[in-house]
Amino acid sequence: MSQNKPIWMEESAVFMIDQRLLPHRVETLRLDSYPETIRAIQEMAVRGAGTIGVAGGFAMAQAALDAPEAGFWEQTQRAAEEISAARPTAKNLSHAVDRVFSAMRKEKETAAARRRAVSEAQAFYDENVEMSEKIGQAGLPLLPQGKAVLTHCNAGWLACTGLGTALAPIFAAHRQGKPVFVIATETRPRGQGAKLTVWELSQAGVPHALIADTAAGHFMSRGEIGMVIVGADRIAANGDTANKIGTYTLAVLAKEHKIPFYVAAPSPTFDAGCPSGARIPIEERHEDELLRAEGSLHSGEQASIRVATPGVKARNPAFDVTPAALITAFITEAGLIQPNSAAISVFLSGK
Give the residue numbers annotated as catalytic, written as ranges.
233
Rounded CA separation 92/97 (Å): 9
Q: How far apart are CA 43 and CA 41, in angstroms?
A: 6
> Which one-letter DSSP state was computed for residue 309?
P
DSSP 176-236: TT----EEEE--TTTTHIIIIIHHHHHHHT--EEEE-GGGHHHHHHTT-EEEEEE--SEEE
Handedness of CA 140, 142, 148, 153 (dihedral sign): negative
Q: What share of the chain is helix, strand, coil (3-state, %, to 5)?
A: 45, 20, 35
Q: Are the beta carbons of 271 and 94 closer than 8 angstroms?
A: no
C-alpha gyration radius of the chain:
20
In what side-by-side order are the strands of the sheet with 7-10? 7-10, 13-17, 28-31
AA letter at 36: E
Does residue 132 contact residue 168 with C-beta atoms inside 8 Å?
yes
Terminal Cα distance for the chain, rounded = 27
Residue type, position 323, single letter: P
**Residue 336 burial class via C-beta count within 10 angstroms: exposed 0-12, middle 13-18, buried 19 and up:** middle
The answer to whether 149 and 140 have CB atoms below 8 angstroms apart is no
